[in-house]
């Protein structure tokens, strides 16, 4: 499945948009606070643990979006956007993703 931040695919055929797909991942307070504490110990902006957790979150969000797109019969997700936000007074991080499930004719898989 093609997953892209572009709103189309160069060189492909017609695009039929099927609808918006979303995904979400929450990094809970305990994990989030542990990461922040570890980072502050070393005055680091980012730690290896932080990077691993963010990568895991993004993969999970993309997997959720892909499953929803496949259920709609899509062979692509276009206009993908990912965001992360710290909520609940700094105790929870939420990673979200949105995109448009689409069928792109003549798409080489």
What pLDDT is attached to residue 93?
Answer: 82
Q: Are 76 and 103 in contact (CB under 8 A)?
A: yes
Write out the CATH class of domain 2-104: alpha beta
Query: Which pTM value belongs to this model?
Result: 0.80
Contacts of residue 93, Cβ cutoff 8 Å, sequence gap at least 6: 26, 27, 32, 57, 84, 85, 86, 87
Q: Which residues of the chain have pLDDT under 50?
A: none
Q: Return d(Cα 81, Cα 42) in angstroms, integer.
A: 31
pLDDT tens for each residue of 33-59: 666 666 555 555 556 777 788 899 999
First to last CA, the chain: 7
């Amino acid at each position: 499945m093609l997953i892209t931040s572009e709103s189309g695919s160069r060189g492909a055929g017609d695009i039929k948009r099927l609808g918006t797909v979303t995904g979400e991942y929450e990094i809970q307070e305990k994990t989030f606070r542990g990461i922040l504490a570890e980072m502050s110990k070393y005055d680091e902006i980012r730690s290896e643990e932080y990077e691993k957790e963010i990568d895991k979150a993004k993969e999970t969000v993309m997997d959720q979006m892909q499953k929803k797109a496949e259920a709609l019969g899509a062979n692509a997700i276009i206009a993908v956007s990912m965001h992360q936000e710290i909520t609940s007074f700094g105790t929870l991080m939420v990673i979200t993703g949105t995109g448009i499930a689409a069928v792109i004719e003549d798409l080489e898989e």
